[in-house]
Structure 1
Amino acid sequence: MPRTSRRGLLFGTAAVSAGAFLTACTSNEPKEKNTAATSGAPAADDRPGKPVTIGFAGPQADHGWLNAINENARSRAKKYSEVTLETTEGSNDTAAQIGQVKTLINKKVDVLVVLPADGKALTQVGLEAMRAGIPVINLDRIFASPQAYRCWVGGDNYGMGLNAGTYIGEQLKDKPNAKVVELAGIDNLELTKQRSEGFAAALKNYPNIKLVARQAADFTVESGQAKMAQLLQAQKKFDALWNHDDDQGVGALRAIQQAGRDEFLMVGGAGAKSAMDAIKADNTVLKATVLYPPTMAASAIDLARALGQGKGVAGLAELEIPTSLTLYSAVVTKDNVDQYLPTGFN
């Protein structure tokens, strides 16, 4: 992803269930009927509570996953009649986004949800909001100081690589001298490093499998096609491919089909609908994808609503919402794809 597209950003069951888990967001029930109230915590549910204005500063929608982040936030806010969502023009420009967040602060929104173009660069404006009494939900790309946000919600990049590697390992565990290649994202991004580290850690459990080649792409269809073509030319035969991103995976599949190669299995990353459709059809080398779901933006809206209404999270006894929520990277295969298709993004 470009520095501000998913390059810099980038729950299985958790992604889907967090909706049910977190959407339970405000309760007006009497305490005797409120489970969490028995321990002093105001529980949450879907019924309207006091009005809340949420400021949302999201990314520029120049990538499928990033567009889905914005769509998830908007659609979730519409679910609540008492929630007003103040949105900014999505921006990949750090200075522009800082200005947009300052505008939301000046409007005195009740809660901020920010997916920063650059977490480190926007830390100061996060601190400014918190000092102004506006709690911040930091979405995915983390600020440099925990004082700059009240709660962080994001994906598990290391777990994404770990689960992709474990799936591939289990498919190839009985194959002697198995060879694997990796089509990574942008190497100077921490998320790419974490995904590769998790993948390498998983493969250590399968001594018969060797990573023989790795190429970094750019989270775009074009880069995926070009870099995959290079891998295919250099590696005349291998057994599995892990591709970090389903957008660049569209290009990778084109290169694979153009080369007439089908001797290996492919695992994608993120959870695009196109990838899930291909997995369901089972007519390409793509057999699985590891989720990094944009539903995290809907969960962030749920948490922002709970904060604005002074509620906890249903199912938890605590008075306050958690300080962080790391989403689970489920592996989607033909066996469970129908369960996850509703979360797929275009």
Structure 2
Amino acid sequence: MRARPRPALPSRRGLLLGGAALSATAALSACTSNESNDSDDSTQPAAQPASDKAGKPVTIGFAGPQADHGWLNAINEQAKNRAKTYSDVTLEITEGSNDTAQQIGQIETLINKKVDVLIILPADGKALTQVGLKAMRAGIPVINLDRVFNSPQAYRTWIGGDNYGMGLNAGHYIGEQLKDVRNAKVVELAGMDNLELTRQRTQGFDDALKNYPNIKKVARQAAEFTVESGQAKMAQLLQAESKFDALWNHDDDQGVGAERAIAQAGRKEFLMVGGAGSRRAMDAIKADNTVLKATVLYPPTMAASAIDLARALGQGKGVGGLAELEIPSSITLYSAVVTKDNVDDYLSTGFR
């Protein structure tokens, strides 16, 4: 599902909200009948064009982990702000927790309230699979946001970022910048190694570098997605490697600490590529006065898109721009590389 980067998706308003779906009986008849039709129009239209007009009221439950990180805080804000744009949407949002049992309890409360649709970003996808199944069995469609459940039966639709593609695109960007450098050296400041997403980002990066035989990854440290860990682990990398040509940092929040360590060491012989797409990183890229030259997106706008999908599910709508009458079972967002050349296009998506 995440083995390769996907092409960029159309805009959310053009993609996610379609008109009311045809009934199952009518759709089946239109697709399978061999009999002639008395009408001149022998084909049925697919989903109608997107519309923001108010429709059937929909109550959406939203449960995520504690917003103790810039990206997670942006997830919550994207969901809240998107829901406010719809007069027919009521958002029931939990406080968020990194404690598995507490998050399960919050989700069960939403199930008991009989919300129309649930959006869940699990603190731990494996541990929360059963509560996703419980919601689905109760007739509440679940949108699994980002961290995937263990069973596809636990959700109706998954939407999230492309961790493998994130590393792949970072690697290709660095590769192209260093393709004419003889015996180029790169280092990696990863995230938490106990998370599958970190392993996927590293794998994508390593696979991209295989296309550049002149480049060798000489060191790697795993941090914890915090400023403090980024600074400490980057200091270790700088001490271990007296000279290198590029740094791939998985996360812009821990990148704040990494840049502090770099400044303290007085190092500037290399280029740095960040990850996730914070506004601070984009501002630095635009100013072009530090080693940070690019960041690879992991868009928190996925939460806004999840609201769009939940509204469509609750109103029985399809997806505008596609021929299918139902929304897809999974949507993987593209990990664009933001540089000085295109940063103005992405500034509005940068999280703080």
**Is the pair's TM-score, using the shorter chain for normalization, greater than 0.5?**
yes
What is the rounded CA distance, in whole Å, between the counterparts of 1:249 and 1:13 in structure 2? 27
Per the alignment, residue 162 of structure 1 pairs with: 168
1:144-192 CA distance string (max 9 Å, x none)? 1000000000100000000000000000000100000000001111101
Aligned pairs for 1:144-293 within 5 A? 144-293=150-299
Q: 1:85 to 1:22 in 2, by over 3 A?
A: farther
What is the rounded CA distance, in whole Å, between the counterparts of 2:19 and 2:351 in structure 1? 28
- Given that 1:44 and 1:311 are in contact with CA atoms closer than 8 Å, whether structure 2 keeps it comes out as no
**Structure with the greater alpha carbon radius of gyration:** 2
DSSP 3-state at the match of 1:316: coil
Q: Structure 1 residue aligned with 2:14, among 6, 10, 21?
A: 21
- Given that 1:54 and 1:113 are in contact with CA atoms closer than 8 Å, whether structure 2 keeps it comes out as yes
What is the rounded CA distance, in whole Å, between the counterparts of 2:285 and 2:44 in structure 1? 46
- Given that 1:184 and 1:244 are in contact with CA atoms closer than 8 Å, whether structure 2 keeps it comes out as yes
Q: 1:225 to 1:12 in 2, by over 3 A?
A: farther
**1:85 and 2:91 matched:** yes
DSSP 3-state at the match of 1:338: helix
What is the rounded CA distance, in whole Å, between the counterparts of 2:162 and 2:16 in structure 1? 21
What is the rounded CA distance, in whole Å, between the counterparts of 2:237 and 2:320 in structure 1? 48
Q: Structure 2 residue aligned with 1:127, among 129, 133, 140?
A: 133
Whichever residue aligns with residue 237 of structure 1, its letter is K
Whichever residue aligns with residue 65 of structure 2, its letter is P
TM-score by length of 2: 0.90
Give the CA deviation at 1:128: 0.7
- Given that 1:59 and 1:70 are in contact with CA atoms closer than 8 Å, whether structure 2 keeps it comes out as no
1:8-45 CA distance string (max 9 Å, x none)? xxx99947x442334535569xxxxxxxx943435542
Whichever residue aligns with residue 244 of structure 1, its letter is H
Per the alignment, residue 5 of structure 1 pairs with: none
DSSP 3-state at the match of 2:300: coil
- Given that 1:291 and 1:331 are in contact with CA atoms closer than 8 Å, whether structure 2 keeps it comes out as yes
What is the rounded CA distance, in whole Å, between the counterparts of 1:134 and 1:97 in structure 2? 17
Whichever residue aligns with residue 298 of structure 2, its letter is Y
- Given that 1:12 and 1:293 are in contact with CA atoms closer than 8 Å, whether structure 2 keeps it comes out as no
DSSP 3-state at the match of 2:108: helix
Give the CA deviation at 1:48: 1.0
Number of corresponding residues:
327
Gaps of 5+ in 1: 1-10, 29-36
DSSP 3-state at the match of 2:274: strand
Percent of aligned positions that are identical: 80
- Given that 2:276 and 2:298 are in contact with CA atoms closer than 8 Å, whether structure 1 keeps it comes out as yes
**1:326 and 2:332 matched:** yes
Gaps of 5+ in 2: 22-42
Whichever residue aligns with residue 221 of structure 1, its letter is V
C-alpha root-mean-square deviation of aligned residues, in Å?
1.7
What is the rounded CA distance, in whole Å, between the counterparts of 1:187 and 1:258 in structure 2? 26
Q: 1:12 to 1:40 in 2, by over 3 A?
A: closer
1:228-254 CA distance string (max 9 Å, x none)? 011001100000000000000000001
DSSP 3-state at the match of 1:277: helix
1:124-158 CA distance string (max 9 Å, x none)? 11111111110000000001100000000010000
Q: Structure 1 residue aligned with 2:149, among 133, 140, 143?
A: 143
Give the CA deviation at 1:211: 0.2
